[in-house]
Amino acid sequence: MTSESRFIRACRGQAHDTVPVWFMRQAGRYQPSYRALRSRYSMLELARAPELIRDVTIRPVEELGVDAAILFSDIMIPLASLGIDFDIQENVGPVVSNPIRTRADIDRLRPFRAEDVAYVFEGLRLTAAALGATPVIGFSGAPFTLASYVVEGGPSRTYRRTKQMMWTEPDTFSALMRSFSAMVVAYLTEQVASGAAALQIFDSWIGALSMEDYSRSVLPHMRFIFESLAPLNVPLIYFGVGTQHLLPEMARTGATVLGIDWRTRLTDVRAMLGSDVTLQGNLDPERVVAGFEAARAGAQEVVASMRHDPRFIFNLGHGVPKESEPAVLKQLVDWVHEHGRMA
Ligand code: 1CP
């Protein structure tokens, strides 16, 4: 194998031996080893302890043989530095005790300071040292997806208050997006300085916007983020769910890799966007819950259509469901490596 990993090479469109694979949410409650730790510590306690961050982050590499680790943290973590109070509640997700809804709320936000979340960067340094040649992916939430929690106060299905702010108080919405964009750039820049070999920006809920609203109210901020990160010279992955209608716009951000959910055929995305962008995805996560045969059959369709494409990374179309069997994921990784060979 050449010096750089097959994951990084696929991000850059360079030749490699077989299809690289990792899974969003590969560290989590489907793992007995994670559940054992969670019986002693809360999610936030884990995410604030550098040695535990390292241990949780590297386990999927050891247990599944994936080609990259992803920092164990949550998209909410850096918001503490801005003065946003949140908790992560079991079976709910992030809950914000002081939602941001007015211009005055935004004006009270503090600028992001890396030292407030020093444990993230120390966790990354320990992880990179432990992993050696296997890359660790740093990440952040994207401004819209972060706003969807911070404005609503918790998980939402409609994003009603967030959209309302975007339409009825566009200057307020834009100020919030600018504040989060500055945070994302500073936070991710420090992650690369601490050993992240690639970055993924999770805009999980961006598919809720129309193309027009995305172009007008979000795209300029995403372009600022990707342009600011480009000099770091690491692969930049941009992911969202239900984004088929937004992909041509998302490709204009400057992202080098686009994460695609299971609804859209990757060959159709390739035909639509051309060959300059790496595509990452996109097995329906429920296939993993349905068992190895269902997962293999879906993986077969994805891999057969993409394995000769040097810009392809296998992943699920969203996170690993907590009902997944670890053995199915392990078999899936082995299957993709064996059947994804380029030659
Ligand atoms: O008690 C627990 O263990 C809580 C479950 C959990 C975990 C394991 C949460 C709460 N966050 C995490 C870790 C996490 N979150 C990781 C690292 C693990 C890995 O990928 O290996 C990452 C990358 C995230 C990012 C994240 N958090 C996203 C973007 C990814 C995605 O799934 O779309 C989002 C939307 C969140 C919010 C969040 N945090 C936790 C939950 C359950 C949710 C989703 C809530 C909702 O449905 O809106």
To test the pocket of ligand 1, the residue of 75, 191, 241 to mutate (highest count of ligand atoms within 8 Å of its CB) is 75
pTM of the model: 0.97
**CA-CA distance, 168 to 327, in Å (whole number)?**
49
Tens-digit pLDDT profile for residues 272-296: 999 999 999 999 999 999 999 999 9
What's the CA-to-centroid distance between 339 and ligand 1, angstroms?
30
**CA-CA distance, 105 to 251, in Å (whole number)?**
32
Q: Identify whether 48 is a catalytic site residue.
A: no
What tokens appear for 152 in the block? 């609503």
CA distances (Å), origin 77, targets 71, 88, 144, 162, 331: 12, 10, 16, 20, 32
5 close to ligand 1 (CB < 6 Angstrom): no
* For the CA of 25, the nearest atom of ligand 1: 20
Domain 2-339 fold is: TIM Barrel (3.20.20)
| Whole-number pLDDT of residue 201 | 99
| Whole-number pLDDT of residue 46 | 98
Sign of the dihedral through C-alpha 252, 258, 259, 264: positive
* For the CA of 202, the nearest atom of ligand 1: 29
| Whole-number pLDDT of residue 2 | 43
Helices and strands, number each (H, E), in the chain? 16, 9
pLDDT band at 3; cut points 50, 70, 90: low
| Whole-number pLDDT of residue 87 | 98
Mean pLDDT value of segment 168-186: 98
To test the pocket of ligand 1, the residue of 39, 44, 74, 239 to mutate (highest count of ligand atoms within 8 Å of its CB) is 74
Q: Identify whether 178 is a catalytic site residue.
A: no
Q: Could you count the other beta carbons within 10 Å of the beta carbon of residue 276?
A: 9
Nearest to 142 by CA among 81, 200, 71, 203: 203
| Whole-number pLDDT of residue 29 | 96
| Whole-number pLDDT of residue 268 | 98
What's the CA-to-centroid distance between 281 and ligand 1, angstroms?
18
What tokens appear for 42 in the block? 């809360």
Tens-digit pLDDT profile for residues 17-66: 999 999 999 999 999 999 999 999 999 999 999 999 999 999 999 999 99
What's the CA-to-centroid distance between 294 and ligand 1, angstroms?
25
Catalytic residue among 54, 55, 59, 74: 74
**CA-CA distance, 270 to 265, in Å (whole number)?**
9
Q: What phi, psi does 201 have (nearest 5°)?
A: -105, 115
204 close to ligand 1 (CB < 6 Angstrom): yes
Catalytic residue among 30, 59, 101, 149: 149
C-alpha triplet 40, 86, 205: angle, nearest 5°: 105
* For the CA of 200, the nearest atom of ligand 1: 23
23 close to ligand 1 (CB < 6 Angstrom): no
With residue 161 as reference, give the H or E element that holds it.
helix 160-168
**CA-CA distance, 303 to 266, in Å (whole number)?**
10
E-strand spans in 206-286?
Answer: 236-239, 257-259, 278-283
Q: Identify whether 74 is a catalytic site residue.
A: yes
| Whole-number pLDDT of residue 13 | 97
Quick check: 277 and 266 in contact, CB under 8 A?
no
Q: Identify whether 261 is a catalytic site residue.
A: no
Residue listed under structure tokens 């969807």: 148
Q: Identify whether 311 is a catalytic site residue.
A: no
| Whole-number pLDDT of residue 342 | 81
94 close to ligand 1 (CB < 6 Angstrom): yes
Whether the predicted pLDDT of 245 surpasses 80: yes
**CA-CA distance, 74 to 139, in Å (whole number)?**
9
> How many residues comprise the chain?
343
**CA-CA distance, 163 to 14, in Å (whole number)?**
40
Question: Taking each helix axis from N to C terminus, what angle separates 326-339 and 292-306, rounded to the nearest 10 degrees?
Answer: 30
**CA-CA distance, 143 to 6, in Å (whole number)?**
30
